[in-house]
Structure 1
């Protein structure tokens, strides 16, 4: 049994990489992930990646922030210590709007950053995990899980036909920077 965990196809050109993705999908070979040094438009749709749900999280954090500060202000200025300023009502909603807005934005920003770090495992101080270090420089990498039923030679041949400059068989999941 082979100790290969991933088969990596390295490409110099993004169009050739997209062709490689197409050929692999035609032959029903599942793609683990694609690593590129720059954004490539349309690759999410081609790989079948769903839209992010961070927008829903942002809405929930914003709602939470607005509710929390509105409740604090209401309790402090209406129930705990009502003050008559210039004959105004103690529950003057227009006075609550600026700070409520600011706290909504603050909760949303911090909540989204925390949710993003949690969802992507990109915590500060964590060593980046990369399949091939050249993917951050000038290569486009298609990673294929080698545990599938397709023989490794067939996958290698498909990647070479699509224009892969190099095909590597990794026995480790990630390459470290050390």
Structure 2
């Protein structure tokens, strides 16, 4: 079974937004939209679910805070207690004000680095990965909306997308692309 898609190319982000809204109203399934820059509100217009990356960032920050507390407690209290500036080295709580900058820095460090790794893994952006961009112009100044054909009439879809302001319309067989 061949999986055909329509590639509708637009040259303005406002026209693209209106086209996405009209396409969803018509009942067509948008597979992907390729843009040269982020378009505010496009994810909502496409009906995409909200991201949970903020939750993972919070959890990674908590991991960083835990590592900082465990590290400082072991190094400064248990393993090598030192009398620095007359401060007692008997408990973590007594020394915690001096440890706050380290706790903050490790919280930010873990959250930032683990979020980058999570983003690359979630986006499947591995080293030496071949680009999946269907049209090179979408890296410069054009926007491409990829819509599944399914059981729809190709001619009616092409006329619909030309009415939405598409400057170019192509029907592509995804199986032959790879």
TM-score under structure 2 length normalisation: 0.85
| Inter-partner Cα distance in structure 2 for 1:12 and 1:71 | 54
Pick which of 67-76 and 10-19 moved more: 10-19
| Inter-partner Cα distance in structure 2 for 1:77 and 1:31 | 56
The answer for the alignment partner of 1:99 in structure 2 is 102
The alpha-carbon deviation at position 174 of structure 1 amounts to 9.5
Assess if the C-alpha contact under 8 Å between 1:133 and 1:175 holds in 2: no
2:140 to 128, 137, 141: 137
The answer for the alignment partner of 1:83 in structure 2 is 82
Matched length: 174
The alpha-carbon deviation at position 159 of structure 1 amounts to 0.5
The answer for the alignment partner of 2:46 in structure 1 is 47
Which structure shows the higher helix fraction?
Answer: 2
The alpha-carbon deviation at position 83 of structure 1 amounts to 2.8
Assess if the C-alpha contact under 8 Å between 2:28 and 2:148 holds in 1: no
The answer for the alignment partner of 1:150 in structure 2 is 152
Q: How do 1:32-71 residues align onto structure 2 when only pairs under 5 Å count? A: 32-71=31-70
Structure 1 gaps, min length 5: none
Say if 1:57 and 1:174 are closer, same or farther in 2 by CA, change over 3 A.
farther
The answer for the alignment partner of 1:20 in structure 2 is 19
Root-mean-square deviation (CA, aligned residues, Å) is: 2.2
